[in-house]
Structure 1
C-alpha cells in the first residue's frame, strides 16, 4: 500500500521542532546531522549541526523534517497542511492543545454539519495542522 508522509523544511530549528512534535505525538525519533553525512567534513562546524534528515515514526504515520533549505530560502505559506485523522475525541483535543502551544488556533474545534469534529491551527514553527475525528 502506498503511504504518504509529510516532509517539513525548517531553517536551522528542525531539531527543536521535531522534538516538540515528538513530545506531542510520541513514537520513535531519529536525527541525522549534516556532520554525520559524507558532506559534513567539507562544511563548517556550525553547518555540521544542521539536520539533514529527521523522522518521527508512530504506528499510524511518519513525520519527516530537514534544515536543508533551497537557495531561495524558506517560504512559509498555507499551501500545505498536515491532516491528522484522530482515533478519538480525547486524542483530537490532546493533539490540538499540545500543538497550539505558542501557536495560533485559527479554527477552534467545532462539530461540522456531518457530525465530525474539526479544528485547525498554525503551530509555533509556522506549520498548518488540521485535526479531524468522525463520531
Structure 2
C-alpha cells in the first residue's frame, strides 16, 4: 500500500533539525550525505557535506528531510512537501501523471541511486515527490 509522508527541507540545517526531532520523538535516525552517496559526482564541492536524504522512523511515524532545495532555492511553501512511496513503478507513473496534470513538473521521473523518482508542484501549489524503490519493491 502506498504511503504519504511529510518531507522537510532545511537548506543546510537538516542534521541539526532531525537530531532535535529524534530527541523530541525518539526513533531511529539515518542520514545519507552527498559525498557518501552514488550521487556525489552530480553535485558541486560546496554541497558534498550536505544531507541528501534523512529519515526518522519510530513504528508508523516516519519523517523525511533533506538539505537540498529546488531550482528556485528556499521559498515559502517549498520547505514542506509530500512524499509518496509507491508499491510499483506503474503506480508511481500513474500518481505522477495524475498529480502533475495542470501543475508543473520540477524534476521528471528518472532513475535515482535508490530507485526511481520525480518531483512536481500540483495545480494547487503543493509540492510532491513520487518515489519507487526498485530493490525493495517500495
Short-chain TM bin: 0.5 to 0.7
Q: How does 1:34-49 map to 2 (within 5 A)?
A: 34-41=34-41, 43-49=43-49
Cα gap change, 1:79 to 1:17, in 2 (>3 Å): closer
| Structure 2 contact 28–57 (Cα < 8 Å) conserved | yes
- Once residues 19 and 29 of structure 2 are traced to their aligned partners in structure 1, the CA distance between those partners, rounded to angstroms, is 8
Q: For residue 42 of structure 1, report the CA deviation from its aligned partner.
A: 5.6
Q: Structure 1-normalised TM-score?
A: 0.52
Q: How does 1:67-106 map to 2 (within 5 A)?
A: 67-77=67-77
Which residue in the other structure is 1:27 paired with? Answer: 27
Cα gap change, 1:44 to 1:66, in 2 (>3 Å): same
Cα gap change, 1:52 to 1:78, in 2 (>3 Å): closer
Q: For residue 60 of structure 1, report the CA deviation from its aligned partner.
A: 2.8
CA RMSD of aligned residues (A): 2.7
Note the residue ranges of structure 1 that are not aligned, 5 or more in a row: 82-135
- Once residues 79 and 39 of structure 1 are traced to their aligned partners in structure 2, the CA distance between those partners, rounded to angstroms, is 22
- Once residues 9 and 67 of structure 2 are traced to their aligned partners in structure 1, the CA distance between those partners, rounded to angstroms, is 6
Q: For residue 79 of structure 1, report the CA deviation from its aligned partner.
A: 9.6
How far does the alpha carbon of each residue in 1:40-92 deviate from its partner, in whole angstroms, 9 at most, with x for none? 246454311100000000113100000110110112349969xxxxxxxxxxx
Q: Higher relative CO (CA 8 A, sep ≥ 6), structure 1 or 2? A: 2
Larger radius of gyration: 1
Q: Structure 2-normalised TM-score?
A: 0.51
Aligned length: 82
Which residue in the other structure is 2:51 paired with? Answer: 51
